[in-house]
Structure 1
Amino acid sequence: MSTEAFAGWPPPALTSAGPFAAPLVTLSWGVFAMAAVVLLIVIAALVLALFGREDLKAKIGNQRLIWYAGLAFPVVVLSALLIWGLSLTSALTGEPEPGEMRVRVTGEMWWWRVAYLNPEGGEAGAVQSANEVRIPVGEPVTFELESADVIHSFWVPRLGPKLDMIPGRTNILRLQADEAGTYGGQCAEYCGGPHALMGLVVVAMPRDEFDAWMAEQGEAAAAPTDALAAQGLEVFQDNGCGACHVVRGAPGASGLAGPDLTHVGSRRTIGAGILPNNRGTLAGWIADSQGIKPGNRMPSYTTLSGDELQAVAAYLDGLE
């Protein structure tokens, strides 16, 4: 199994890699520290009440002290925590800068549709992908989060807060990675079925590498260059795969129900982050997707022979 495919997993929630995650890490440690202090105070009071001198027990049992400690202490502590937390995270809801790169991520049962929007903010001519987002290092990126069915929640712990994806509305989230690498993400709102298997990765790249990658992604799929992949294209077409999937440049492959497969071979994982992407896992996913991820929207193609599975897997693997 490829370790590179699963780089960034499991996503460490208390290790930030960008300015939009750092305040949350600070707040989390602050909450842990405050909880520890409160716990120590409660334990100390309990020890005194059980084993302390009689005069101390009397003082602890004083009605006035109980009112002050039981009411004033929580109000002061929680109010201070609220004010500090709001001041610390106020920058997370700031408006995106003009010209900031925009990526639209749509949560679907149970995968992620990704569109790199054009400079005007629309999807006309936009690069399409699925279950993987690539961003340039050191630059804030605006994510437009939507849902095609039920409530999902987009969360990449090392890069920023989680934000719900609600049908009928667009929520805005800004993320930034300060160093190149792969960052694991997850749907953080139960959405039924294989919710726990709805992962994604964000890959941060140097700007020049990102630009080169975007240029490649904007091109149509290359025609098969060997006999096995050419046979795989025929299997793909004969079994109606194009009714659900787009492969730009392939005749009849214009379906929108499933992920865009134009450059599926360049992605690190398949099945929304649950399998490394190679010919073997592609063939296994096509043959028994329901056994691998029960309840997902893709049927298992149990009628395909071993040779046909290997051929279509070779074709998809070559779509880079």
Structure 2
Amino acid sequence: MSTLSWVLFGMGGAVLLVVLIALGFALFGPRRWRARLGGARLVWAGGLAFPVVVLSALLIYGLSLTSHLTQEPQPGETRIRVTGEMWWWRVAYLDDQGRETFQDANEVHIPVGRPVVLELEAADVIHSFWVPRLSGKVDMIPGRRNLMRIQADAPGAYGGQCAEYCGGPHALMGLVVVAHEPVQYAAWLRKQSTPVETAALPGPGAEVFGRAGCGACHTVAGTAFNGQAGPDLSHVGSRRTLGAGILPNNQGVMAGWISDSQSIKPGNRMPAYPVLTGQELRDVSAWLESLK
């Protein structure tokens, strides 16, 4: 994508230079040159033929350069399915056969220096996946799977955003792409695919989680909580953000989000829980923070 961008910038600069030279001749050149610039033949050539040739050449070059970005996944490529939902991102890591190995939410983890195939889908309305430093925008359309390839050349966190208005708190539907060195990425995959040992242990936080009915919408691997409507919380404590990329992830923010997420992100589909006491909020947020 960067190669195509530089080619487009370069061609745009070259066309601008040609126009400025022609303008200079038209304003300050000899009378003979000004007469030629105003002739019908040059107007047709410069106003019609020149743009058609330049734009057609750029179109053909761009399509040939980026055709591999939408090819079907090849053996050995990293595959991740990202599903846009109102108003968060469901992220599923796939094996070579396209089978889901585990789920995450609102963060996409990738290895540095390797192309990653993203399978983009939507569960409800049209969304658009956009991480400006890694890719262009690709729409996520209900009933359709769009493919795109991204690659990070340096480790770090890359911010993203839904780029298609999808109603409600669309402006607060962010995400983070985290790029790891290959060794660290392999270790992260192993950790994420293994249920957190403390998840199965009884405790006040887990009891509050069950009593409030959170397990009807959320999954925590290693427990009886297996809801599918909301984000998978099996490793929620390891995420950088909450609320789809809009808040830092810590115990205090977690408690506030559980208590009244509507005051933070109006219109999201998680109800407020004003019935929980301060101690219950501390217990459940501490338990969720331990899920790393």
CA separation of 1:58 and 1:161: change in aligned 2, threshold 3 A:
same
Give the corresponding residue for 1:106: 83
Q: 2:44 aligns with which of 60, 63, 67?
A: 67
Match for residue 159 of structure 1? 134
Residues 65-116 of structure 1 show CA distances to partners (whole Å, capped at 9, x for unaligned) of 2122111111122122112222322332344321333221111111111111
Paired residues of 1:224 and 1:230 also in contact (CA < 8 A):
no
Kindly indicate whether residue 281 of structure 2 is the aligned counterpart of residue 304 of structure 1.
no
Aligned mates of 1:249, 1:92 — CA distance in 2: 37
Amino acid at match of 1:196: A
- For 2:113, what is the secondary structure of its paired residue? coil
**Which of the numbers 268, 272, 289 marks the counterpart of 1:317?**
289
Calculate the TM-score normalised by the size of structure 2.
0.88
Given the alignment, which residue of 195, 211, 218 partners 1:238?
211
- Amino acid corresponding to residue 173 of structure 1 in structure 2: M
DSSP 3-state at the match of 1:128: strand
TM-score under structure 1 length normalisation: 0.81
- Give the root-mean-square deviation of aligned CA atoms: 2.5
Task: Determine the structure 1 residue equivalent to 2:238.
Answer: 266
Kept after mapping to 1: 8 A contact 2:85/2:122: yes
Equivalent AA in structure 2 for residue 288 of structure 1 = D
**What is the alpha-carbon distance in structure 2 between the residues aligned to residue 67 and residue 216 of structure 1?**
65
2:4 maps to 27
Matched with 1:179 is: 154
Take 1:156 and 1:303, find their aligned partners in 2: how far apart are those partners? 38
For structure 1, the 5+ residue unaligned runs are 1-23
Q: Deviations over 1:211-264 (max 9, x none)?
A: 3322222223433799xx93222222221111111112233x221110000110
Identity of aligned residues (%): 64
Distance 1:64 1:100, change over 3 A: closer
Q: Alignment partner for residue 37 of structure 1, among 14, 23, 29?
A: 14
Query: Secondary structure in 2 aligned to 1:223?
Result: helix
Question: 1:40-86, CA deviations, whole angstroms, 9 ceiling, x for partnerless residues?
Answer: 44445445545656544433322222122111111122122112222
1:103 aligns to what SS in structure 2?
strand
Question: 1:90 aligns to what SS in structure 2?
Answer: helix
Structure 2: give runs of 5+ residues left out of the alignment.
none
| 2:139 partner amino acid | D
Structure 1: distance between partners of 2:120 and 2:138: 8
C-alpha separation between the residues in 2 aligned to 1:84 and 1:119?
A: 31
The CA distance in 2 between the partners of 1:62 and 1:159, in whole Å, is 47
Q: Take 2:199 and 2:48, find their aligned partners in 1: how far apart are those partners?
A: 72
Could you tell me which amino acid in structure 2 is paired with residue 231 of structure 1? P
For residues 100 and 34 of structure 1, what CA distance do their matches in structure 2 show?
Answer: 33
Q: What is the one-letter code of the residue matched to 1:314?
A: A
Deviation at 1:198, TM superposition (A): 1.7
Q: State the aligned residue count.
A: 292
170, 192, 206: which one pairs with 2:145? Answer: 170
